[in-house]
């Protein structure tokens, strides 16, 4: 069974070295997040990406902050309120069900999530909730990255495996963007 992130380690989520030298806001700009988009941050944690995403999509956009842990969502609610991000919709999920209608979203973020998944149920759900042509952004730990910053190397998911899994689930590989020294960022499009 994959290692699940503990809410007791929240400080690790906010460590400024995690995406150094690029900020989550810069990464979101590089992946094409724009005003008015309908977005989900799957495995949002305490909102390291969801809150800046909500500010970038603005009042006409929505960010669904999705996480299986109520403790994470509770902290995120407080932080979103303090940041003035009133367009965040926190939702509790499971690996097999994300409570969003089919084909709703323009973009889905999955940051440091793949190594926690037990199978492809979440990826199938992400495909279901994305509109045709919508973008999936996968940001995860590089195999050669520092172990004190992320999961052990044996739990990390190599880029090649991500590409194979997503291709088999109906995603086309689009491009790669910079996501700091410890991460890779891959963008995929949902095929029809």
Over the stretch 151-190, which tens digit does the pLDDT of each residue have? Answer: 889 999 999 999 999 999 999 977 999 998 899 999 999 9
Which CATH number fits the domain 15-190, given the four candidates 3.40.50.150, 3.20.20.140, 3.40.50.2300, 3.60.15.10? 3.40.50.150
Over the stretch 47-62, which tens digit does the pLDDT of each residue have? Answer: 999 999 999 999 999 9
- The pTM of the full predicted model, rounded to 2 decimals, is 0.90
Answer yes or no: are the C-beta atoms of 43 and 113 closer than 8 Å.
Answer: yes
92 three-class SS:
strand
Predicted confidence (pLDDT) at residue 191 exceeds the cutoff of 80: yes
Over the stretch 18-51, which tens digit does the pLDDT of each residue have? Answer: 566 678 999 999 999 999 999 999 999 999 999 9
Residue 145: per-residue pLDDT: 81
Predicted confidence (pLDDT) at residue 12 exceeds the cutoff of 80: no
∠ CA 58-98-123, rounded to 5°: 100
């Amino acid at each position: 069974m994959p290692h699940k992130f503990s809410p007791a380690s929240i400080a690790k989520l906010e460590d400024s070295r995690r995406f150094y030298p690029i900020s989550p806001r810069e990464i979101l700009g590089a992946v094409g997040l724009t005003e008015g988009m309908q977005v989900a941050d799957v495995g949002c944690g305490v909102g390291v990406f969801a809150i800046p995403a909500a500010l970038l999509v603005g009042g006409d956009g929505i960010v669904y902050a999705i996480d299986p842990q109520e403790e994470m969502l509770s902290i995120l609610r407080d932080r979103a309120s303090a940041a003035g991000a009133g367009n965040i919709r926190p939702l509790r999920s499971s690996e097999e069900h994300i409570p969003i209608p089919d084909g709703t979203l323009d973009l889905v973020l999955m940051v440091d999530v793949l190594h926690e998944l037990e199978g492809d149920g979440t990826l199938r759900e992400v495909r279901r909730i994305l509109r045709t042509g919508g973008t999936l952004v996968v940001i995860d730990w590089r195999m050669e990255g520092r172990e004190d910053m992320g999961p052990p190397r044996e739990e990390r998911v190599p880029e090649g495996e991500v590409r194979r899994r997503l291709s088999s689930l109906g995603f086309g590989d689009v491009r790669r963007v910079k996501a700091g020294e410890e991460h890779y960022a891959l963008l995929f499009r949902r095929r029809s």
